[in-house]
Amino acid sequence: MLIVGDSLSSGDGIELNQSWPNLLLQQFDQQDIDLAIVNLSSSGNTTLDGIQIIQDANLQYQPQWTIIALGGNDGLQGLPIQTIYHNLSQMIELCLSYKQHVIVIAMTLPPNWGPKYIEQFELIYQQLKAQYPQIDLVEFSIDDFLGLLQSDGIHPTQEAQHIIQKRVFLSIQKIMANEE
C-alpha cells in the first residue's frame, strides 16, 4: 500500500509512530492483514509532486493500493481549481492503469481562504468521485478537528491521527468486503 501525501500524512509535529499511516499499519498487524505500507508523504508535497511520486513508486514497489492525500498545499498556494483537479485526476488514472485500489482523502482549507474558493476546492473531491466511481473517498470537515489541531491551526494533533486512521481503515474494509 502506497501513501502519497503531504505533511498531514508524514506526521509533522507529532511522534512519527503516532501518525495515521503508522497507526494504520499497527491495525493491520493486530488484525493479521497482510499489507505493507510505503509512506512517501513529505511536507510541502503538491499534486504535481504526487504525479511523479506515483510514477516512480509504481515502478519500484508495484503497490496494490494507493492512498492519495494531496491537494492541501495546492489550495494553500491558491492554485487554480482546474489545475488541482487535473493533477489529482492524473494521479487517479495512473493508479487505475496499474489496476490498484485507490482511496482519496478529501482535503479542506482553513476559513481564511474565503468561502468561494473553499467551496470550489472541496468540490474537486466530489467531482473526482463522480468521475471515478471505482475510487473511495474519505471525507473530513474542519468541524471533525475542532480542538484537535496543532498550534499552527492546520496540522492535526496526535489525537486527531486516530480519527483519520479509523476513517481510512473503514474505507479499506469496505473495498476488501466488495472483493469477496
Rounded-to-integer distance, Cα 149 and Cα 167, Å = 17
Mark whether 152 is an active-site residue: yes
Q: Which of 16, 53, 54, 21 is nearest to 36 (CA)?
A: 21
Least confident of 20-24, 153-157, 159-163: 153-157
The rounded percent of the chain whose pLDDT value lies above 90 is: 77
- Active-site pick, 7, 10, 19, 171: 7
Helix axes 81-97, 115-131, angle to 10 degrees: 20
Of 142 and 145, which is predicted with more confidence? 145
Q: Determine the pLDDT at residue 18.
A: 92
Look up the CATH number of the domain holding residue 63.
Answer: 3.40.50.1110
CB hemisphere CA count around 138 (13 angstroms): 23
Find the range with the poorest average confidence among 30-39, 69-78, 129-138, 152-161. 152-161
Active site residue 144: no
Kind plus residue range of the DSSP H or E element containing 136: strand 136-138
What pLDDT score was predicted for residue 12? 87
From 29, 56, 141, 152, active-site residue: 152
Could you tell me the pLDDT band of residue 157, with boundaries at 50, 70 and 90? confident
Which residue, 41, 33, 86, is CA-closest to 64? 33
154 or 52, higher pLDDT: 52
Cα dihedral across residues 122, 58, 135, 30: positive or negative:
negative
Give the mean pLDDT of the chain.
93
Which residue did the predictor score with more confidence, 42 or 146?
A: 42
State the DSSP string of 51-120.
HHHHHHHHHHH--SEEEEE--HHHHHTT--HHHHHHHHHHHHHHHHHTT-EEEEEPP---GGG-HHHHHH
Note whether 1 and 38 are within 8 A (CB): yes
Structurally, the chain folds into a number of domains equal to: 1
Residue 45: its pLDDT value, please? 97
Has 101 been annotated as catalytic? Answer: no
Of 45 and 155, the one with more pLDDT: 45
Tens of pLDDT, residue by residue over 113-144, are 889 999 999 999 999 999 999 999 999 876 77
DSSP state of 156: B
Per-residue confidence (pLDDT) for residue 178, from 0 to 100: 86
Q: CA 56 to CA 83: how far, in whole Å?
A: 21
Task: Pick the catalytic residue from 9, 74, 155, 171.
Answer: 155
Angstrom distance (rounded) from CA 78 to CA 62 = 33
pTM: 0.94
**Residue 30 belongs to what domain range?**
2-179
Quick one: pLDDT band at residue 156, thresholds 50, 70, 90?
confident
